[in-house]
């Protein structure tokens, strides 16, 4: 099967998996405390990243099995590992703020209305990382 087709299918799975895992599966407590300093923040972050990736892995497993997609264990491992590492880094929030400041969008980072700049930037960066994850899964 063409890797481009596998990439398209994997991407089509990662997007709803992200939405489900980040907005439904994640608890209010984890969302509220994952960026806090110290053990409390890290504990909530680890719980979130774990439940997030269990959701993603389950949706990928069902899709790969039902569609008989030719993905390797190396590709799946690399894609999920990249996603977990980048998701954890972004959800500590300081990285998102740093990126926004570096790109000249410091005011956007602080904006709360009509949209929350940090949230939109966070989600955009997650999607960019999921693109890389899909490439790893499809090509390795």
Judge contact between 60 and 76, C-beta under 8 A: yes
pLDDT bucket at 1, cuts 50 / 70 / 90: confident
Condensed to tens digits (0 to 9), the pLDDT of residues 80-109 reads 999 999 999 999 999 999 999 999 999 999
Q: CA 115 to CA 127: how far, in whole Å?
A: 18
> Please, are residues 138 and 96 in contact by the beta-carbon 8 Å criterion?
no
CA neighbor of 140 nearest in space, from 72, 84, 69:
72
* Region of 38 on the Ramachandran plot (φ > 0 left; ψ -120 to 50 alpha; else beta): left
Q: What are the pLDDT digits (tens) for 16-52? A: 999 999 999 999 999 999 999 999 999 999 999 999 9
Q: Long-range contacts made by residues 97-105, C-beta under 8 angstroms, separation at least 24?
A: 99/125
Total-model pTM: 0.94
Structure tokens at 84: 């977990």
């Amino acid at each position: 099967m063409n890797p481009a087709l596998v990439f398209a299918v994997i991407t089509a799975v990662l997007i709803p998996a992200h939405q489900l895992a980040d907005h439904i599966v994640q608890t209010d407590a984890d969302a509220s405390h994952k960026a806090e300093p110290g053990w409390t923040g890290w504990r909530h972050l680890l719980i979130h990243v774990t439940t997030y990736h269990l959701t993603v892995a389950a949706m990928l497993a069902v899709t790969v099995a039902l569609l008989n997609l030719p993905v390797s264990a190396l590709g799946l491992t690399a894609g999920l590992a990249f996603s977990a590492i980048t998701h954890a880094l972004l959800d500590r929030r300081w990285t998102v703020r740093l990126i926004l400041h570096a790109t000249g969008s410091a005011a956007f980072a602080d904006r709360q209305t009509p949209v929350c700049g940090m949230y939109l930037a966070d989600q955009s960066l997650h999607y960019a990382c999921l693109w890389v994850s899909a490439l790893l899964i499809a090509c390795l």
